[in-house]
Amino acid sequence: MSSAASVIEQDAEETWPDNLLAILETSLEELRHFEIERRNIDALMQRDIRARIHTPHNKFAEARSAIVERCRSAVRGAKLVGYHCTRLLDQEAELIWRDGLKPASSDLAVQKIDIALSSGAITRPFADKLRRNNLAGKEGRVGLLWFVTDRETLRDAGSVERLLRSWGGEAVYWGNESGSDGTILGSIGTPTIITAHINVDEIKNFDTGTNLLLRYLSSRGVSVANKATDNAYVKTSIPGALLKFHRLGTETFEHLTGESSWTNRL
């Protein structure tokens, strides 16, 4: 157990703030009742069209909303462990140590391509092709920095293998993986997982308090409508001093991924 000022691992309850665990433990039955009532209402709506038009009120909704707000307050100001999965040349890793891990941008994509070209990893024609054909400046990618937020996902090859197998990040390798181009992208750099401590107040696609509540309920056999999210994005850079690098071939990379047991090893 820990205080909100310490670092939370989403799939390790012993790292969750003490006050959050106390809220969840004392509220478990109320939360369970809400989910049972939700399922009953869903079943009624399947049987009765009138219930679809005038959805019955879940009598436990207000209590659940109050619990959610308390959970959000309990983690405010905390850090969440995130894992950025990528493939890096040594020069790229050094830049991240120096300048931090940055959100996607066209400038960052060009910088990565220039490093690969200057290091001899790619030819100039291929570098030109990657500059023309990438998604780094597209809506839905530009300005975003993505992380996996639990270790279970890291150990699922289907979830992270592509990120670790093709160089450049999704914004660069997407649409460039077929044929010989894919072979080149798979030969550049080293599969790398970068561990970062993310400010939960800067996560844009979910709130950590609710996400931990959903995970808590699922771990205790309560069926929930939406599962906890296993990835997060922020719009700010993470300083290099706050990062740890785990590269293929190291004990820590194997510990995080179990890559030696994957069907298609990296």
Within 8 A by CB and 6+ apart from 110, the residues are 131
* Residue 192, beta-bridge partner list: 86, 247
Query: Does residue 147 lie in a domain region?
Result: yes
Considering the domain architecture, whether residues 218 and 91 belong to the same structural domain is answered as no
Count of structural domains within the chain: 2
Considering the domain architecture, whether residues 130 and 241 belong to the same structural domain is answered as yes
CB 71 within 8 A of CB 216: no
Considering the domain architecture, whether residues 107 and 173 belong to the same structural domain is answered as yes
Give the whole-angstrom CA distance, residue 192 versus residue 88: 7
Query: Does residue 138 lie in a domain region?
Result: yes
Considering the domain architecture, whether residues 98 and 135 belong to the same structural domain is answered as yes
Considering the domain architecture, whether residues 155 and 219 belong to the same structural domain is answered as no
Query: Does residue 4 lie in a domain region?
Result: no
Give the whole-angstrom CA distance, residue 234 versus residue 214: 21
Considering the domain architecture, whether residues 19 and 99 belong to the same structural domain is answered as no
Q: What pLDDT is attached to residue 5?
A: 59
- What size, in residues, is the chain? 266
Q: What pLDDT is attached to residue 237?
A: 95
Q: pLDDT of the chain along its 266 residues, tens only?
A: 555 458 999 999 999 999 999 999 999 999 999 999 999 998 988 888 888 888 999 999 999 999 999 999 999 999 999 999 999 999 999 999 999 999 999 999 999 999 999 999 999 999 999 999 999 888 888 999 999 999 999 999 999 999 999 999 999 999 888 899 999 999 999 999 999 999 999 999 999 999 999 999 999 999 998 888 999 999 999 999 889 999 999 999 999 999 999 999 99
Query: Does residue 197 lie in a domain region?
Result: yes
Query: Does residue 2 lie in a domain region?
Result: no
CB 195 within 8 A of CB 244: yes
Considering the domain architecture, whether residues 109 and 140 belong to the same structural domain is answered as yes
Considering the domain architecture, whether residues 121 and 148 belong to the same structural domain is answered as yes
Strands 145-148 and 231-234: antiparallel
Considering the domain architecture, whether residues 73 and 94 belong to the same structural domain is answered as no
Among 216, 248, 159, 177, CA closest to 16 = 216
Considering the domain architecture, whether residues 48 and 157 belong to the same structural domain is answered as no
Tell me how far apart the terminal alpha carbons of the chain are, to the nearest angstrom.
36
Phi/psi of residue 199, nearest 5 degrees: -70, 120
Q: What pLDDT is attached to residue 131?
A: 94
Give the whole-angstrom CA distance, residue 266 versus residue 264: 7
Residue with tokens 């990040």: 169
Q: What's 12-65 look like in SS3? A: CHHHCEHHHHHHHHHHHHHHHHHHHHHHHHHHHHHHCHHHHHCCCCCCCHHHHH
Query: Does residue 130 lie in a domain region?
Result: yes
* Residue 3, beta-bridge partner list: none
DSSP annotation of 101: B
CB 212 within 8 A of CB 16: yes
Query: Does residue 31 lie in a domain region?
Result: yes
Q: What pLDDT is attached to residue 137?
A: 85
CB 96 within 8 A of CB 243: yes
What is the number of alpha carbons within 13 Å of residue 195 lying toward its C-beta? Answer: 17
- Domain containing 244 equals 80-201+235-261
Considering the domain architecture, whether residues 50 and 69 belong to the same structural domain is answered as yes
Considering the domain architecture, whether residues 42 and 174 belong to the same structural domain is answered as no
Query: Does residue 266 lie in a domain region?
Result: no
Structure tokens at 82: 């995130």
